[in-house]
Amino acid sequence: MPVSALVDSERRVPPLERALSVAGCEVAVAAPDVLAWASTLAHHARIAAVVEQGALPRLVPDSPASRVGVRLHGVVDPGNVGTLVRSAGVLGPAHVVLGEGTADPLAPKAVRASMGALFRVPLVALADAPTARRIALDARAATPLWDVDLGAPVAFELGGERTGLPDSIVEAAEQSAAIPLAPGGESLNVAMAGAIALYELRRRSS
């Protein structure tokens, strides 16, 4: 829940303002140019809110989200990080693990790309990641993803946009898997690869 919110004086939303106030959020009305100054968007939103970092979801041991993980290693584009958080929210439940060199999931671009999933998907440091069967998504792997055992608890290892997965992560994984591409295809965006892996897991669980 936000601790405070600014509302555009020319585009007010009374029902939402009342709901925020009842929940204990401090609501203030601001001129449009103030919200435009605070926003990184070309067209600012009606409401800008402040949420304490400590209010973000935490991973609960033995919860459904703890059994599926997406582990990011050197994913430097915050847009891709946010999109992966969004995929974990809509194709999970799952958690996202932030490995070395990965962009800040709280950067403005990442927050926008998450489309609100940031407030539902637990974020975990690599050192605190739950034990799981690790599947390294590697374009060089001989085994296609559809032939891999995805029994939970499972974690998909994803590498950086240009560098891919570090060899040490691939070697430590219990299984490597590739997402087969059409002839002539070179590579998949890392956020797309993560979404496909989560979808494949969800498809098998349906």
78 and 127 housed in the same domain: yes
How far is CA 82 from each of CA 46, 142, 195, rounded to the nearest angstrom? 22, 29, 12
Residue 44 belongs to domain spanning: 4-55
49 and 112 housed in the same domain: no
Give the per-residue pLDDT at 6: 84
Give the per-residue pLDDT at 147: 96
pLDDT band at 185 (very low <50, low <70, confident <90, very high): confident
Q: Where residue 97 sits, what CATH number does that domain have?
A: 3.40.1280.10
Interval 20-73: pLDDT, tens:
899 899 999 989 888 888 777 777 788 888 888 888 999 999 999 999 999 999
Bridge-partner residues for 160, per DSSP? Answer: 164
Interval 98-144: pLDDT, tens:
999 999 999 989 999 999 899 999 999 999 999 999 999 998 899 99
Number of H helices and E strands in the chain, helices first, is 6, 9
36 and 83 housed in the same domain: no
Give the largest Cα separation in the chain, rounded.
Answer: 58
78 and 39 housed in the same domain: no
169 and 191 housed in the same domain: yes
Q: At what angle do helices 190-205 and 78-91 cross, to 10 degrees?
A: 10
78 and 107 housed in the same domain: yes
91 and 21 housed in the same domain: no
74 and 93 housed in the same domain: yes
- Give how many domains the chain has, as a whole number: 2
